[in-house]
Structure 1
Amino acid sequence: MFAFVVAAVFLLLFGAGVLRDRRRFGNAVYLGLAVTFLGIGLLFGIDEARPGLAETVMVLVLLVLGLGPVVLAGLLCANGVKMIRKEGRRPANLLALLAGLGMFGVMALTVTAVVTRSRILGVLTGTTLLVLGYVSFLFLCFVGYAYLYGRMRIRRDADYVVVLGSGLIGGRRVPPLLASRLDRGREVYEKLAARGGDAPVLITSGGQGPDEALPESHAMADYLTDRGFPAEAVVREDRSRTTEENMLFSKELMERDRPGSSCVIVTNNFHAFRAALMARRAGVDGQVVGSPTAAYFWPSATIREFAAVFLQYKVVNLGICLTLVVLGALTWFLR
């Protein structure tokens, strides 16, 4: 019963957080804690179920805990290899493979500690699992809430649509990833234009990189106008080099022409929630929506996005991880 009460409290905090501002990582944590305590309450209450159900549930839980990590690690490794073949060996493309190999490494360490009954290995394994448990919990919170955030209805009162840049092919051409954003941005623009009243403005946001022949925003605008989009409805923000600058410089343009305006920001779906967190920090009144991304791209991209959010709150997160390591060390010294 206590677990259900705690779950209800966190669910209320989650609801209040969403009503206050959808673009808060705290909402993801509240939702994760609510689901966790709800699961605990259900597990403890399973004894009161009809005969055989409790045993079946426990077997399923043990199978998930035992085989789940092995299957997940294998899938991550397979996806990592595919990612390298399709996208090259850049560090960001290695994340899924490294995560899968890391999971296999932790499993090997755990088995070795059990077989050898080494106290040092046991403490090391326990500490590692505690830290990984904390990080994994936050990761699941991030993925779960990002999924929900990406399915929230597009606001109907936005004055601007801001499409974030992502690099050009050969320094000139729009790649498929960016084309997906632009097509989604056009779709959002047309929905907003259909509402009546003042027509929205679409901002293409992206500066010129050292290996690019023109600013990304110019290539993006050309992509749209070449496909019939009205040139007078496009504004080019061509100074930004990072997502943070995309937000800040686009905000300057919006405030210059329509003070107090709101916007819908378009990026790829794996990047939407982190972009929403950045928009909130930059003071941009905007909802972020995502465009489709190839399935094989998701694991590495999601891991990268989570790592960036984790480090965004590095004082708290690294502090908790360090505390868990210290507790593990104290366990070894005090035994």
Structure 2
Amino acid sequence: MVAFLLAAVLLALFAIGAARDLRRLGNAVLLGLAVAAVAAGLLGELDRLPPGAARAAADALPAAAVLAVVAVAVLLVGNGLVMLRREGGRPVNLLPLLAGLAGLALIGLLWTAARIDSKPLHAAAAAALLVAGHLAFLLLCFLGYSALYGRLPPPRDVDFVLALGAGLDEGDRVPPLLAARLDLALALCRAQAEQGPPPVLVVSGGKGGDEQLSEAEAMARYAAEQGHPADAVLREDRSRNTEENLRFSDLLMREQRPEYRCTVVTSNFHVLRTALAARHAGVPGQVVGAPTAGWYWPGAVLREFGALLLAYPRTNAGAVLLLVLLGSTAGWRP
């Protein structure tokens, strides 16, 4: 009962935070804690089952958890190999492979520690389990809230639709990832135009060292090829990352309309981090995500999750250090 009451309180806090601003990382954590409290409450209810059923459930849950970890790890290893074949050996493309191998290594460490009477090994296993649990919880919070936020319908009465750049192929061509963003941005512009004044399309992206023109220029050309009026496009061609996309585009939009409202368009894996960055930059708008190829999505999500962890270095480093100390202490005890 206590766990369910705690879940209700956490859900109430989540609702308050979401009502204030959907673009808050705290919303994701509160929702995750509420779900965890409900799960804990349901586990507590196992005692109400008949003894045989309760024992079977208690035995099945750890086995199911191990199988789930192994399955996810194997899938990540497979996806990592696909990423390497399709995208090359850049460090960022190694993330699914490394995450999958880390999951298998954790299972191996726990299995070994359960069979060998060694205090250092038990301490290492306990510390690794706590850190892995912490990271897994945060990742599930990120995935869950990203999915929830990404399903919210975009507003239809905005002044601008801002499409974020994503690199060019062969120095001057819009790749499929960026084309999906532009297609969604253009669809939003057309949908609003059918009901009232059309929004202005803002294309944002500077020129990389290996690119022949700015991403904004390539995006504007793509929009023109799709029939979008050239005089209804604003180009932001100085930015080098998401934060600059938003900050520089905000300046352009405020020049046109100081009290503007906008919708920001990116890829579905990038929605939550973009929403957090938009809130930080003071951009008054929600974020929507374009679909991404299935084989590309896991690595992209891990990259986004890693970037969020690095955005709060002291908090996450402190949490990991504390968990390592707690796990090591608990594992060392007889």
The interval holding the TM-score normalised by the smaller chain is: over 0.9
Q: What is the letter of the counterpart of residue 199 of structure 1?
A: P
SS of the residue corresponding to residue 265 of structure 1 reads strand
Give the aligned partner of residue 199 of structure 2: 200
Paired residues for 1:150-165 under 5 Å: 150-165=150-165
Paired residues for 1:157-306 under 5 Å: 157-196=157-196, 198-306=197-305
User: TM-score, normalized by length of structure 1?
Assistant: 0.95
Matched, 1:132 2:159: no
SS of the residue corresponding to residue 290 of structure 1 reads strand
Paired residues for 1:29-44 under 5 Å: 29-44=29-44
State the alpha-carbon separation in 2 of the partners of residues 60 and 204 from structure 1.
52
Deviations along 1:114-168, one digit per CA (max 9) or x if unpaired, are 2221100100110111111111101100000000010011112311000000111
SS of the residue corresponding to residue 296 of structure 1 reads coil
CA RMSD in angstroms, aligned pairs only: 1.7
State the alpha-carbon separation in 2 of the partners of residues 332 and 126 from structure 1.
6
Long gaps (5+) in structure 2: none
Q: What is the letter of the counterpart of residue 192 of structure 1?
A: Q
Post-superposition shift, 1:111? 2.0
Deviations along 1:275-298, one digit per CA (max 9) or x if unpaired, are 101101111011110001000111
Deviations along 1:229-269, one digit per CA (max 9) or x if unpaired, are 11111111111111100000000001111001011000110
Post-superposition shift, 1:313? 1.6
Deviations along 1:60-92, one digit per CA (max 9) or x if unpaired, are 423321211111111111111111111111111
State the alpha-carbon separation in 2 of the partners of residues 333 and 83 from structure 1.
40
Change (3 A) 1:191 1:157: same
Give the aligned partner of residue 90 of structure 1: 90
Q: What is the letter of the counterpart of residue 159 of structure 1?
A: D
Aligned length: 334
Matched, 1:112 2:99: no
Paired residues for 1:141-156 under 5 Å: 141-156=141-156
SS of the residue corresponding to residue 170 of structure 1 reads coil
State the alpha-carbon separation in 1 of the partners of residues 325 and 57 from structure 2.
35
State the alpha-carbon separation in 1 of the partners of residues 178 and 116 from structure 2.
52
Long gaps (5+) in structure 1: none
State the alpha-carbon separation in 1 of the partners of residues 303 and 135 from structure 2.
14
State the alpha-carbon separation in 2 of the partners of residues 13 and 319 from structure 1.
25
State the alpha-carbon separation in 1 of the partners of residues 218 and 31 from structure 2.
40
Q: What is the letter of the counterpart of residue 104 of structure 1?
A: L
Matched, 1:314 2:313: yes
User: TM-score, normalized by length of structure 2?
Assistant: 0.96
SS of the residue corresponding to residue 191 of structure 1 reads helix
Post-superposition shift, 1:192? 2.1
Q: Which has the higher contact order (CA 8 A, sep 6+)?
A: 2
Indicate conservation of the 8 Å contact 2:162/2:264, yes or no.
Answer: yes
Change (3 A) 1:332 1:296: closer
- Range that drifts further, 47-56 or 139-148: 47-56
Post-superposition shift, 1:48? 2.7
- Range that drifts further, 48-57 or 264-273: 48-57
